[in-house]
Structure 1
Amino acid sequence: MSEPTQEDLAIVEAQLGRQPRGVVEVGWRCPCGKPGVVKTEPRLPNGTPFPTTYYLTCPRATSATSTLEASGLMAQMTERLTTDEDLAAAYRRAHESYLADREELGHVEEIDGITAGGMPTRVKCLHVLVGHSLAKGPGVNPLGDEAVELLGEFWRTPCLEEE
């Protein structure tokens, strides 16, 4: 992870279509070098609590993840959490890792113990899980890792210049 440059923040602004808020690090870069996941403060500059520490910004990843969400994958993953004890335990560890990373940035009482994406008991947002997995690397968030693998090669191949 690296501290964002002004150029990084300008790229993220173009990716999001708005000024990025509370960005403290670039958590993952796509193969072309652009920010793809940013690490965000748990309290935005305007005072709003913000539980999404790892925010997916890469347009290709965001679009592909939206397609996965529309496929019904989140419901399937949530169901597996109720029947696979090992998966549920690993997902709880991912939740705890996410909380620890956010707590390093500061404590925000309103979101204490709450992670994004539905962790630790359900899957509510694959974008959060994919962002977490890309930023932390494989082996931290099992369902995020699964989603990244289902996305295919996008995260290993450079973007086209216009992206």
Structure 2
Amino acid sequence: MIDERYRRNDEAAVAAQLGREPRGIRRTAYRCPCGLPAVIETAPRLPDGTPFPTLFYLTCPKAASAIGTLEGSGAMRGMQERLAADPDLKAEYAAAHDDYLRRRDEAAREDGIEPLPEGMQSAGGMPERVKCLHALVAHELAVPGANPFGREALEALPDWWRSGPCVRAADDREGAQ
């Protein structure tokens, strides 16, 4: 079963990226140009029922490091100031928040689990704050065009994948003929 092999390989790669076993993976939401998962979609609730509001989770440590550098440069401060001053940008960011919540609720329905409570946070500070570029970039990578600040941050990043994969991918295709 080729799909099952790829799923296992992706989960092994994500475990190597995170340095721990991932929890609640639904699928790979974005694949890095190097071929490995870079964003996973997680279940709205972990297997034990604990709410997990982060639907799109950035796993690539090279991308995470580049985003951390961008956050450290003060980029979020300027984004937050523009969010407060620009009604069109505020509306676009609110639409990103609504998209995130809709997708998270849809994932819960697909998995046959209870959606998260009304008013539960989405990600990255949406819709009022610019708090975590990692989450906003993950949203934009998973759903291109969905998140204005994720898109802006992504455009400011270097090509993190150019130096090669962040981890060695497990490959159990050998001998699977």
Q: TM-score normalized by structure 2? A: 0.83
- Matches of 1:91 and 1:46 in 2, distance apart? 32
The CA deviation at 1:73 is: 1.3
Q: 1:119 aligns with which of 102, 122, 126?
A: 126
Counterpart in the other structure of 1:129? 136
Counterpart in the other structure of 2:99? 97
Counterpart in the other structure of 1:18? 20
> How many residues get paired?
160
Counterpart in the other structure of 1:150? 156
Query: 5+ residue gaps in structure 2?
Result: 109-113, 169-177
Q: TM-score normalized by structure 1? A: 0.90
Query: 5+ residue gaps in structure 1?
Result: none
- Matches of 1:53 and 1:31 in 2, distance apart? 21
The alignment partner of 2:28 has SS state of strand
Q: Residues 45 and 71 of structure 1: is their aligned pair in 2 closer, same or farther, counting only changes over 3 Å?
A: same
Alpha carbons 2:136, 2:147 under 8 Å: kept: yes
- Matches of 2:40 and 2:64 in 1, distance apart? 13
- Matches of 2:116 and 2:159 in 1, distance apart? 39
The alignment-based identity, stated in percent, is: 52
Counterpart in the other structure of 1:85? 87
**Bigger-Rg structure (1/2):** 2
- Matches of 1:52 and 1:66 in 2, distance apart? 18
Report the aligned-residue RMSD.
2.0
The CA deviation at 1:159 is: 2.1
Alpha carbons 2:24, 2:42 under 8 Å: kept: yes
